[in-house]
Structure 1
Amino acid sequence: MTTRRTSHTAGVAAPADVAYRIVADVTSWPVHFPPTVHAVRLSGDDREERIRIWALANGALRTWVSVRRLDPAARTVEFEQAEPAAPVAAMGGAWRVEDDGDGGCRVELAHHYAAVGDDPEALALIDRAVESNSTAELDALRRAAEGAADPADLTLEFSDAEVIDGSVDDAYDFVNACDRWPERLPHVLRVELTEDEPGLQLMEMDTRSPDGSAHTTASGRVCVPGDRIVYKQTTVPPVMRTHNGEWTFRPDPGGGVRVTSRHTVVIDPDAARELAPEGLTLPEVRTKIRETLGANSRATLRAAKAHAEAHKEAHKGPRREARKEAHAEAGRERSGK
């Protein structure tokens, strides 16, 4: 098996410890790193961990499990894929963060990898993915580390929720079947959905905002049936640097299911400054984003509620008739008829 080795580096005008903390906290990668849609720690601690990552590579959404060994003192993170996804036969490498002696740092991202069956086309595909993702991740790390001193109001987190008198499955199915949103949601004009592997969706969508303007967004979505749908917008409106979201479906203590839509947005400070001549301050930009995304989420929640509750009501009649027939049959048996 032929092993290819590569190395990418970047200078970062931020302390080495700041850059290392971003690399070490894989759960923050979806906010900072463009290719990463979702990441979770499966087991371990801050010295050695087993993680699962869902990320975009060459336009496809893929997932794999990696083992990472972290050394905070040396500021290194070594990683090896434990469950590579074809066409990758093996993949590993290391992050190394070094103080440059001038208040900044130098970050190296090294990889070694091999293709299934040493296939040249597969190896070329991996080459392109490693080159593209490494460049994007180092650039994103630089922006995140250098922007760590930016005011906290560049990050916006909020949620909306709806309690639905219906089943978890029906509520989940409504959000999962986003290809049907144009016929179900007035603010959705178009959806193109690709789902080559169940639960891994790529979605391009045109939506209309409350002010009448239309926007095109693209998202990668990780769908866990009956539990959650996590997504990351890969094409965002100009004022946003990143937009991540999550739909969760939980039994409500009062009955039914509580569906929650959460958003995490990082505002692009340069785009926000460009809006200043138009009379929009940063707090007003935050309010506009909250109103726009929240309005669309609430509209989707209301439609999911109507769908799930109508589905429940539609099944009441047949269930009622079945119960009546069962009672009647039991009565006939008791009477000997």
Structure 2
Amino acid sequence: MSSQRVHASERTASVSAPAGVVYGLLADAVRWPLLLPGHLHVERMDFDGVRERLRVWDLPGGERIRSGHVRRILDPRTRTVAFTQEDTARPGAPTTGSWTVEEDGATGSRLTLRREHTLEGLPAGRSARSGADLDRETAELLGRVKETAELWERLDELLLSFEDSVRVPGPAELVYDFLHRIADWPELVPHVEWAEVTEDLPGVQLAVLDGSAGPDGRSRTSRTARLCFPAAERIVFKELRTPEPIAAHSGEWFLVRENDGVRVVCAQQVMLREAGVEAVLGAGTELAEARRQVRMWLGRAGTEVLRLAKWHAQSAVRRLR
């Protein structure tokens, strides 16, 4: 027996942040991978100041990366973001909905997320599961936005971004090949001891690494999602298991072709977890010092990979001569 009906899911939360701050967080979807745990990468395809089209990658349930397109209409006057989400992982018509932010007192706000999904032609049991999944995802997403928005007074101190780069007088293809073959890094990168990589779709990687690049220098296990774009010579990544005092860590490797070679860049973005700063760095450690040390730890690991990519490319060229 089939069911054709619309399942609506709506949740509202009180947020201890001004309405303008909350709306700004919702409008800036490109930053969601750093600010919201479930999102891996967001690319803006089109934007005219009101209407935008996004490509979004996320990891529902923590197991399998999915992607889809989202069309949004932004209305800062009413602080509303209407969206249509084309999700290939969920059968049926696209999910539609809206975010609405209302003032709640002098410094607070009320945030409402409404989502609707048409369950076309699904058996009754599967229809119920799909509706339950929608309810769960709505509640989780609302909670994540609330949690991040309530950091608004400290967010500038908790966020940092930086880049490291090297110039390689050799073919870009060889450099990209090194960065892409993360499964081989235990043999090539000293701080990586072991790797297991799952690539269900070409260029979509889930990598589990054991290594000694943690903040305390001891070996730790990391889990990273990577999206590889060979035509653009980019690899976007987000770490799914972060050490204290890091709450979120994302970035990308990208190549810039130059006349006599290529510049290879590792760009990284970090959000600190303030509660974990003193536990790792000692009592009384301020955020400025935490920022400096995290920049040093991550920059050192990224620079090591950049230099080895350069060596790999130059060695391959020498062997071919």
TM-score, normalised to structure 2, is 0.90
Q: Deviations over 1:194-217 (max 9, x none)?
A: 111112221222220386411222
CA distance in 1, matches of 2:245, 2:221: 13
The question of whether the paired residues in 1 share the 8 Å contact of 2:278 and 2:284 is answered with no
Shift in alpha-carbon separation, 1:184–1:117, aligned structure 2, 3 A? farther
Q: Tell me which residue corresponds to 2:298.
A: 293
1:86 corresponds to 2:89: yes
Q: Secondary structure at the match of 2:240?
A: strand
5 Å-filtered alignment, 1:236-275, equals: 236-253=242-259, 255-275=260-280
Matched, 1:109 2:113: yes
Quick one: structure 1 residues 34 and 151, their matched pair in 2 at CA, closer, same or farther if it must change by over 3 Å? closer
CA contact 2:115–2:138 (8 Å) conserved in 1: no
Q: What code does the residue aligned with 1:233 have?
A: E
Range with bigger deviation, 265-274 or 133-142: 133-142
Q: Classify 1:104/1:299 alpha carbon distance in 2 versus 1 (closer, same or farther; 3 Å).
A: same
Residues in 1 aligned to 2:11 and 2:198: alpha-carbon distance in whole angstroms: 31
Whether the 8 Å contact between 2:35 and 2:271 is mirrored in structure 1 is: no
Residue aligned with 1:34, SS: coil
> Where do residues 223-234 of structure 1 align in structure 2 (5 Å cutoff)?
223-226=228-231, 227-234=233-240
Q: Structure 1's 121 and 306: CA in aligned 2 closer, same or farther, altered over 3 A?
A: farther
Residues 24 and 70 in structure 1, CA contact (< 8 A), matched pair in contact too: yes
Say if 1:115 and 1:122, in contact at 8 Å, map to a contact too.
Answer: no
- Aligned to 1:138, what secondary structure does the other structure show? helix
Gaps of 5+ in 1: 317-337
In structure 2, the CA distance between the partners of 1:117 and 1:233, relative to structure 1 (3 Å rule), is: farther
Matched, 1:307 2:316: no
Q: Report if the CA contact (8 A) 1:200-1:223 is conserved.
A: yes
Deviation at 1:160, TM superposition (A): 0.8
Q: CA deviation at 1:130?
A: 3.5
Alignment length (residue pairs): 314
Distance 1:54 1:116 in 2: 24
Letter in 2 for 1:228: R
- Find the aligned partners of 1:167 and 1:116 in 2 and give their Cα distance: 50
Percentage identity across aligned positions? 33
Q: Using a 3 Å threshold, how does the CA distance of structure 1 residues 268 and 180 change in structure 2: closer, same or farther? A: same
Deviation at 1:142, TM superposition (A): 1.8
What is the match of residue 286 of structure 2?
281
Give yes or no for contact 2:5–2:120 (8 Å, CA) kept in 1.
no
State the 1:286 CA deviation.
1.8
State the one-letter code of the partner of 1:80. Answer: T
> 1:1-27 CA deviation, whole Å, 9 max, x = no partner?
433221122210011111011101111
Q: Does 1:95 align with 2:104?
A: no
CA distance in 2, matches of 1:164, 1:117: 55
Q: Check whether the contact 2:27–2:81 (CA below 8 A) recurs between aligned residues.
A: yes
- Read off the aligned partner of 1:137 and give its amino acid letter: L
TM-superposed CA distance for 1:315, in Å, is: 2.5
Query: Cα offset for 1:238?
Result: 2.0
**Partners of 2:115 and 2:258 in 1: how far apart?**
46
Judge which range, 99-108 or 262-271, deviates more.
99-108
Once the two structures are TM-superposed, the CA of residue 228 in structure 1 deviates from its matched residue by 0.7
How many angstroms does 1:262 deviate by? Answer: 0.9
Residues 146-165 of structure 1: pairs in structure 2 closer than 5 A: 146-150=150-154, 152-165=156-169
2:188 matched residue in structure 1? 184
Match of 2:42 in 1: 39
Deviation at 1:165, TM superposition (A): 2.1
Q: In the alignment, what sits opposite 1:12?
A: 15
Instruction: Supply the AA of the counterpart residue of 1:272.
Output: V
CA deviations over 1:278-300 (Å, ceiling 9, x no partner): 46333332222112111111111
Distance in 2 of aligned mates of 1:119 and 1:175: 45
Q: Distance in 2 between matches of 1:291 and 1:160?
A: 11
1:88 touches 1:113 (CA, 8 Å); kept in 2? no
Report if the CA contact (8 A) 1:275-1:281 is conserved. no
- Measure how far apart 1:151 and its partner are: 6.1
2:70 pairs with 1:66:
yes
> 2:60 aligned with 1:57, yes or no?
yes
* Aligned partner letter, 2:67: T
